[in-house]
Amino acid sequence: MAKMLTAHGRHLGRCVVQTAGLGRGAAMCRLHSSPVWCSTFDVKSDDYQYIHKSKIPTMHFQKSLLRLPIPALDKTCERYLRSQKVILSSEEYQRTEKFVTQFKEGIGATLQFQLKDIDKANKHTSYICGPWFDMYLSDRVPVVLNYNPFLAFHPEERPGLSDPVIRVTNTLVSSLRFMRSLRDSVLEPVVYHLNPAKSDTPMFRKIVRWTPSAISSYAAYAQKAFPLDMSQFGNMFNSTRIPKLGKDVLRTYPKARHMLIMKNGHFYVFDVLDKDGNILSPEHIHACVSYIYNDQTPPAKRSIAIFTTENRDTWAKCRDELVEAGNEAALDVLDAAAFNIVFDEAILGDDPIKTYHTFLHGDGNNRWFDKSFSLICTADSQLALNFEHGWGDGVAVMNYFTEITKDLANRPSINSDSRPAPIDASKLVRRLEFTLTPSLEAAIDKAHQSYEANTSALKCDVLEPQFFGKKLCKKNKLSPDALMQLGLQAAYYLQNGETVPTYESCSTAAFKHGRTETVRPATLETQAFCKAITQAQLPSHSELKKLMMECSKMHGNLTKEAAMGPRF
């Protein structure tokens, strides 16, 4: 199970990865009397270059995806009032009702008309896509803590695969195989199967493969399979958020062939693709990764990495100063890298709190939070993914996460018996150098002070219930997500004696260029449960279960509304 969290505690997605049998071309090595599988491939073969080869082109469904519907104004107002009723007094609610009526009959109707006109004129996208990018890229608060979430991988416990260099090399190779599959349109399209046993089949793939792309989504819908929007995948690799005054920009470098690795506040780059775009051999990549990991250069006294933790306008000004100081070429190389890998010196063990802090923010000196995503590997080989949220949501990242997890489980490229290629890695790896003016040095010192103040103010703890989980919830016909949200409502109510506005995101990726919609988990039903458990005389178990069932039903309805588009 992998959970994706931000400092706000937003739960953006989850997945369970089940590994299948061995991939083609696998060979078994024996280490410490335990079987460890490592793949042996011709590096020019499709088996090595691609994570898989889908019979359905990657973007086959994109053209025919349904467009995100604009909610009716009456329904928007009705849903808004429903979300407010639970948090307002009677007097406040009556006043709000009047304001909503005035809005609906006045400026609201005008805005609704204008929105529909804009939507009709832009049938290639959704009405929310542009404003959503604007919202992310215009916000001036630091991306770290506020936007960038992380996903943690399971620990690698197989003998011969747990060394940091081995784990990073294998993860890098699997990531590049995913990237090549995406670029060559052989990555399996992301489809949500309502009944996988009936639709996630070779016959389904055969039918939709030969259905014209203009109507292919409808062929999938007929089998209760729902293709998801994949427009965000184009910003996953060789992509970076660039700070600009007022509004940042997303920039991609599709022709770049190199990788970025950070260690001790230093930036190292090396090519991972040849001139024809083929992935270099695992042994070659292993040699470069090993060289960087073993480099004894002292930690950077002042690293420009800390700038990515700053207010976006502050960072934009510092970046302009970096360019003026002669660092533009080095910044371009950094920005163009396929993605970022970080070697972190932390030892996490089984400490969940330290894990959370390390993967969410770290010390700021050894991260580049503007990169589309970074893989962070600690000294004890714990691994996580931290990603910049402006370019995309959970669907793209979770698909990448799931696919490389399966690939790593089934066919790692190297193990501890593997030897790096006999090459001079010092001539292939380059450490980027940056010229710092006194003004930039002062800005770095100030950024560190702000960052330490912000991160030290973040408090977190872990509750891991041992007595129940998803299976028990479903056995009792309760939604696990609804129960989690109810737990949050109950905890806040017990502590503060009131209900407050609450936000949960829900993907609208079933629609073309969908992003996320809002679910408001604070409802009259959750409030009734909270009041019931704070009475002097607790209700009976059957009464409490009935209240929980009502909460679950309402939450399910709200989630379904949000996922289908017309929430607010």
Question: CA of 64: how far to CAs of 56, 507, 510, in Å?
Answer: 14, 19, 11
Question: CA of 60: how far to CAs of 205, 209, 398, 551, in Å?
Answer: 11, 8, 20, 39
Beta-carbon contacts of residue 248 (< 8 Å; ≥ 6 apart): 137, 138, 241, 242, 312, 316, 390
Measured between alpha carbons, how far is 512 from 475 in angstroms, rounded to an integer? Answer: 35
Torsion angle, alpha carbons of 452, 454, 457, 461, to 10: -90
* Cβ(47)–Cβ(24) below 8 Å: yes
* Tokens 């990555």 -> residue: 187
Residues paired with residue 2 on neighbouring β-strands, in sequence order: 15
Question: CA of 331: how far to CAs of 172, 319, 367, 486, in Å?
Answer: 22, 9, 14, 46
Kindly give the pairing relationship between strand 2-5 and strand 11-15. Answer: antiparallel
Measured between alpha carbons, how far is 150 from 37 in angstroms, rounded to an integer? Answer: 28
Residues paired with residue 242 on neighbouring β-strands, in sequence order: 249
Question: CA of 154: how far to CAs of 126, 149, 357, in Å?
Answer: 36, 17, 17
Catalytic sites, residue numbers? 389
Measured between alpha carbons, how far is 410 from 38 in angstroms, rounded to an integer? Answer: 8
Question: CA of 128: how far to CAs of 73, 79, 141, 183, 396, in Å?
Answer: 16, 18, 22, 26, 18
Q: Where are the alpha helices (DSSP H) in 264-393?
A: 282-294, 312-322, 328-336, 352-360
- Please, how many CA atoms are within 13 Å of residue 354, restricted to the half-sphere of its CB? 11
Measured between alpha carbons, how far is 171 from 383 in angstroms, rounded to an integer? Answer: 10
Would you give the distance in Å from CA 2 to the centre of its chain?
A: 11
As a whole number of angstroms, the longest Cα–Cα distance in the chain is 78
Can you give the three-state secondary structure of 445-500, one letter per residue?
HHHHHHHHHHHHCCCCCCCCCCCCCHHHHHHCCCCHHHHHHHHHHHHHHHHHCCCC
Measured between alpha carbons, how far is 199 from 41 in angstroms, rounded to an integer? Answer: 32
- Quote the DSSP letter at residue 233: G
- Quote the DSSP letter at residue 340: E
* Cβ(281)–Cβ(414) below 8 Å: no
- Please, how many CA atoms are within 13 Å of residue 555, restricted to the half-sphere of its CB? 27
The dihedral region occupied by 529, where left means phi > 0, alpha psi between -120 and 50, and beta the remainder, is alpha
